[in-house]
């Protein structure tokens, strides 16, 4: 355990329950501003190191959003194809193993492969609705399925584009990832007048120079299981998808999707990080030095945790979306205007603002 208020994680906890087949991780990074808040990632290859990086991102994100949450993240190793009953047992076992930390030091939320159902299981296991946010509406939740994160990504994109001199109307956009974040970013950006020319999911990548349609893409995904069956769209290799000369490129899937193998292919004018840690800070800085404007993850995708806070204090969906819009626009404008004015990496600027608030709170 680290000293509260330092920039070392306060708790790094590994859970091993062989009788349940359960292995998981919790990192409570910083609780100066409030209990650590962060989702539970459920993948076959999640690691303590990944969770640790994500927890630090949450500390910065919650501080920058100016909400009374600290930063944390959790992960459960979840084999592919696990049955719903088995998954429920793993989620409940994980919750019970962490009981002493919840909700005073940690509040759970959705992440990769976890949504409102998993959050309901988590809260029910502990008999405490405050144990998790993103729960079903029927039990007082504001599920992330409402699209708060993708809505926030769209708002951040609009403001950053405006500051960079890119007109969002008719701006060309590629979105990597077609889950909760990518689909809602598509929906709201299309409503703003942007032209979404490329999207991808786990099965492949598609492109249309004339633009893709949100409703059509959603229908194809639901019926066929993948956007690659979108009629009239061109299928692209991953290399070609990464190399599209678009105005705005939005990674909205998993960690480290931009790496040393593909970083030099990117030709977008702007990257808006819908996913958490879609690239290392080193690669991000290399791209920024090449002249690519980058909206960091903990600025662009803070809509989800703002929604979590709105749920925590009992807001309606309408009030939640209003709060997300206000806070994302305010944070994006503050970071991107200062970045361009001072010719500094946006992540450096955002981290400075976020960490200043934490240090100030620690002194008080």
Residue 227 contacts residue 217 (beta carbons within 8 Å): yes
| Band of pLDDT at residue 255, cut at 50, 70 and 90 | confident
Annotated active-site positions, please? 73
SS (H, E, C) 307-339: HHHHHHCCCCHHHHHHHHHHHHHHHHHHHHHHH
Q: What is the mean pLDDT of residues 297-306?
A: 94
Domain ranges for the chain: 11-56+70-141, 148-303+331-352
- Average of per-residue pLDDT across 320-341: 97
- Joined tokens for residue 138: 């029927």
Q: Which residues lie closer than 8 Å to 293 by C-beta, 6 or more apart? A: 160, 164, 269, 270, 271, 336, 346
Residues 6+ apart with CB under 8 A from 343: none
Residues recorded for the chain? 364
Average pLDDT over residues 133-152: 92
Number of C-beta neighbours around residue 69 at 10 A: 27
pLDDT recorded at residue 1: 44
User: pLDDT band at residue 319, thresholds of 50, 70 and 90?
Assistant: very high
Where is pLDDT greater, at 110 or 24? 24
- Report residue 220 as tokens: 């194809």
Tokens 């719903």: give the residue.
Answer: 84
- What are the tens digits of pLDDT across the range 166-205? 999 989 999 999 999 999 999 999 999 999 999 999 999 9
pTM of the complete model beyond 0.85: yes
Residue 92 has pLDDT above 90, yes or no: yes
Q: What is the mean pLDDT of residues 153-165?
A: 97
What is the CATH code of the structural domain delimited by 11-56+70-141?
3.40.50.10860
| Two structure tokens written together for 339 | 């970045």
**Average pLDDT score, the chain:** 94
H or E element in which residue 344 lies: none
Residue 228 main-chain phi, psi, to 5 deg: -65, -15
Identical fold for domains 11-56+70-141 and 148-303+331-352, yes or no, is yes
Examine the pLDDT at 126 and tell me if it is beyond 90.
yes
Report the Cα–Cα distance between both ends of the chain, in Å, rounded: 22
pLDDT (average), residues 112-137: 95
What 3-state DSSP class applies to 282? helix
- CA geometry: angle 7, 361, 285, nearest 5 deg: 45
The architecture CATH gives domain 148-303+331-352: 3-Layer(aba) Sandwich (3.40)
Per-residue confidence (pLDDT) for residue 199, from 0 to 100: 98
Q: What is the pLDDT of residues 19-43, one digit of tens each?
A: 999 999 999 999 999 999 999 999 9
Instruction: Report pLDDT digits (tens) over 37-69.
Output: 999 999 999 999 999 999 998 999 999 999 999
* Distance separating alpha carbons of residues 112 and 179, to the nearest angstrom: 9
pLDDT for position 5: 47
Which residues does residue 16 pair with via DSSP β-bridges, in sequence order? Answer: 23
Burial of 312-345, coded b for 16+ CB within 10 Å and e otherwise, reads: beebeeeebbebbbebbeebbeebbebbbeeeeb
pLDDT in tens, 67-84: 999 999 999 999 989 999
What sign does the CA torsion over 157, 300, 322, 188 have?
A: positive
Residue 3: pLDDT band (50, 70, 90) is: very low
pLDDT for position 6:
54
**Average pLDDT of the residues in 154-167:** 97
Residue 217 pLDDT: 98
Tokens 């920058």 belong to which residue? 64
pLDDT > 70: percent of the chain:
98
């Amino acid at each position: 355990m680290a000293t509260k208020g330092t920039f070392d994680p306060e708790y790094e906890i590994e859970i091993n329950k062989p009788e349940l087949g359960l292995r998981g991780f919790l990192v409570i990074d910083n609780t100066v501003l409030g209990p650590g808040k962060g989702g539970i990632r459920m993948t076959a290859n999640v690691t303590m190191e990944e969770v640790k990086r994500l927890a630090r991102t949450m500390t910065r994100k919650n501080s920058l959003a100016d909400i009374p949450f600290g930063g944390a993240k959790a992960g459960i190793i979840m084999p592919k194809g696990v049955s719903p009953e088995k998954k429920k047992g793993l989620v409940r076992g994980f919750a019970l193993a962490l009981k002493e930390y919840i909700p005073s030091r940690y509040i759970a939320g959705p992440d990769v492969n976890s949504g409102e159902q998993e959050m309901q299981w988590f809260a029910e296991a502990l008999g405490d609705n405050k144990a998790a946010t993103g729960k079903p509406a029927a039990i007082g939740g504001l599920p992330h399925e409402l699209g708060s994160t993708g809505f926030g990504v769209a708002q951040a994109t609009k403001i950053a584009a405006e500051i960079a001199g890119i007109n969002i109307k008719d701006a060309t956009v590629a979105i990597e990832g077609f889950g909760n974040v990518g689909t809602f970013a598509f929906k709201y950006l299309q409503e703003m007048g942007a032209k979404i020319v490329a999207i991808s999911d786990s099965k492949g990548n598609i492109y249309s120079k004339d633009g893709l349609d949100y409703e059509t893409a959603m229908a194809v995904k639901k019926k066929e299981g993948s956007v690659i069956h979108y009629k009239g769209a061109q299928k692209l290799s991953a290399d070609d998808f990464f190399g599209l000369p678009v105005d705005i490129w939005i990674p909205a899937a998993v960690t480290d999707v931009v790496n040393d193998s593909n970083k030099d292919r990117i030709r977008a004018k702007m990257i808006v990080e819908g996913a958490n840690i879609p690239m290392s800070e080193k690669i991000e800085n290399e791209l920024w030095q090449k002249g690519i404007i980058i909206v960091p993850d903990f600025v662009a995708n803070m809509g989800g945790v703002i929604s979590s806070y709105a749920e925590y204090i009992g807001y309606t969906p309408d009030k939640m979306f209003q709060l997300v819009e206000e806070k994302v626009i305010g944070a994006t404008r503050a970071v991107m205007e200062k970045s361009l004015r001072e010719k500094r990496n946006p992540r450096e600027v955002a981290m400075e603002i976020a960490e200043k608030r934490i240090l100030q709170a620690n002194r008080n």
